[in-house]
Structure 1
Amino acid sequence: MAPAITLAAEAPKLSAANTGFMLICSALVLIMTPGLAFFYGGMVRVKSTLNMLMMSFISMGIVTILWVLYGFSLAFGTDKGSFIGWTSDWVGLSNIGLTELWPGYTIPVFVFMVFQLMFAIITPALISGALADRVKFTAWSLFIALWATVVYFPVAHWVWGTGGWAFDLGVIDFAGGTAVHINAGAAALGVILVIGKRVGFKKDPMRPHSLPLVMLGSGLLWFGWFGFNAGSWLGNDDGVGALMFVNTQVATAAAMLAWLIYEKIRHGAFTTLGAASGAVAGLVAITPSGGAVSPLGAIAVGTIAGVLCAMAVGLKYRFGYDDSLDVVGVHLVGGVIGSLLIGFFASGHGQSTVEGLFYGGGLTQFWKQCAGVFAVLGYSLVASAILAFLIDKTIGMRVTEDEEITGIDQAEHAETAYDFSGAGGGSAARTSAPATADTDAKKVDA
């Protein structure tokens, strides 16, 4: 009798379809950072608009260079003690073949690298919303470089890197609930506890100056988030990426509606800011959980996140921390909610066979999620506070009080977002004295 012949499994081959899909997803994730800039830029006062835009845009420059030099190697290189990675051949992206595949997948290493780069870019940009109106641009730029190195790159390895402790434990984070949103939200809280409140916090009106910009920004975020979430499966050969795409839409819609209903009951109006904030809360919450839950589960995740995040944004007034644009209330709280609810709503029919409590799986996965959530939260909070403290004691984190009152745009960038000197046009504008125009601009900036 002839011996049985065992055929070796066929090695993955480069897929042009998956490669093209992932390049498109990478571009979608990149557009989220300008979207975030508009979202935050519309929420601040006129005198801080450009600074808010620049705090997001500068991340696109700094993090890109760091990622090429050593960030990708630290986050996804060969594991070193379950805490960090390192592959020397990836330093400067050297010695990577153009058609070399990411292990176990059908896309090139370069494609995976650039997709993850876009995540690394937007994560520190998220922090900026908590620091509006009061941080030196040089100090912020230095903070981004240090924070990405000390916090983001290691945490990305914990959660997504082969050999990372959270990855090996079985913590589920499909697209960044812990590594991105809890990480950024906890960092924001750590920094604002160090640098303090804005001048006039809880005394002066600090309303958004342009709600149309806020809505534009939230629309770009919603659009780009499909690449952020669906792309994180690195292909769609088995339908999981499609499930994530559907759940992203469903949870976002549910969260927006839930926030608006809560807002109407609590404050008596349906606001555009509430609609935009609710949508972002839903996007945040479904990011870690969307590959593990059903569409009905996504409705539950979005609804719970919409209500709890709407409640959480008011905590800054109760506890006295000045989270300017509700990064803690939306990203930290939303990330925690989405990550922990996996332990209840995981259906066992998505990215894995893991089942949550409501599907007969007990609380095993819930406790794993708790480990990932609170480890990232604690590490990011403490490390970020230390970095902010060190920068504050060396070059200083804050602009002067006079510069903050006058306007950080003029102080840090020598520009203003809007030119009011020619407002109205026609003969009236030509005959108006320059002093009058300057006075009007100062009134609006204030």
Structure 2
Amino acid sequence: MSSPAGNGIEIAVGLLRDQLPADMVVVGESAVEAVKPWNAQVRQRPAVIVRCRTADDVRAAVLAARSGGLPLSVLGGGHDWAGGAIREGGLLVDLSAMRQVVVEGAEARVAGGATVSDVLDAVRPHGYAAAVGTVSSVGFAGLTLGGGYGTLIGLVGLGVDNVSSAQVVLADGRVVTADPQHEPELFWGLRGGGGNFGVVTELRTRLHPHAEVTTGMIAFGWEQAGSVLRGWRDLTSTADDALDVMFGALHTPAGLVLFTSPTWAGDPAGADEQIGRVRALGDPVLEDFGRRALADAVHAMDELFPRGGNYYLSSLLLPRLTDAAVDDFVRAGDAMPATCALNVHHSHGAATRVAATETAYQYRDEHLVLEILGSWTDGDGAEESAWVRETERRMDAYALAGGWTNLMARDNPRVADAYGGNTERLLAVKAHYDPDGVFMAMPMPK
């Protein structure tokens, strides 16, 4: 006798094969073998993969999953470290073939499976950059709609601030465009609530004339970490919006360092002065910076976080860098295993001049995003995972309620506060557009 799940798979696959070419529908062991998550610790595998090329293909996949009663998930760039993009025994909507980027003046139309690399490489010949993060293989839609921190944040704001419209396939199969005039509540919810309302098959995003910036790395010996961080705090309190200075802890051949990654996106004539202010924070042990394409700078970070590695991550948002927070950050670095890292992004400038209710993403005061990155190549990761949890516990005393859901596990208790005063409105959008809870792209409060 066939199992209910087996019957559901047969129903879904039958519908799909009536509508799509055979090579677009992958079933059974072939589906299991075809999925290679960015995080090797993600072990769940789908029963069916639909390799979509158009919004109509996505519509067919969504309706087939619903007809068969199968769990549904969506794979874009695949960097969802906690595995929400793959549901065990479910139907996976694979957008990896939908990577087109079309530049139209000072905007780009970005297909749902495009990566940060796809976007930057496409807009670069036109003299533009987009609001993107620091790793090129991350999916552009997932990064953007989850908030979208990046090195141009002081000048152009968050990724969500640059989205002008989205094409979305809803749970009932409708394909809609969400913008300020059409489906405005959906448009509001997408910008922070991500893919929890449907499959985003295309984004239209604003572009900016910053294809080239002055950027790189200036690192200081770990014994200087405390003084450098206090200096960073003073420097950024008066810095121009065009200067972004990410920092963190990293093991290098030169030993454990406090690295800074300054990016100056203002007048190139002022670059030496601006980067010099960062260099003057201490006595650098490593320096590598210059006038570079933003695309090249983002590509350079990829080797630190390769696909197929073992990862356990967390994050916290800090309203400020107090002396006590500096001291505990240094203690966390002291205990950090050799394959792990700490990254800190600074939300400032244009991102802070948007009202907390303008988008579903609520964090609009100046703040820091602390990424706690556990990774390992050998062993079971127990040491590295324990360090992530201990660092989260250590820094929790300085953190805001809630946090950045892109780096939250679904069972993280901070999810309950992640949307603050926007929670009730966001849940109303969810109830209207996805009343049956088909989509689970990002953690959401219940």
TM score, norm. by length of structure 2:
0.24
TM score, norm. by length of structure 1:
0.24
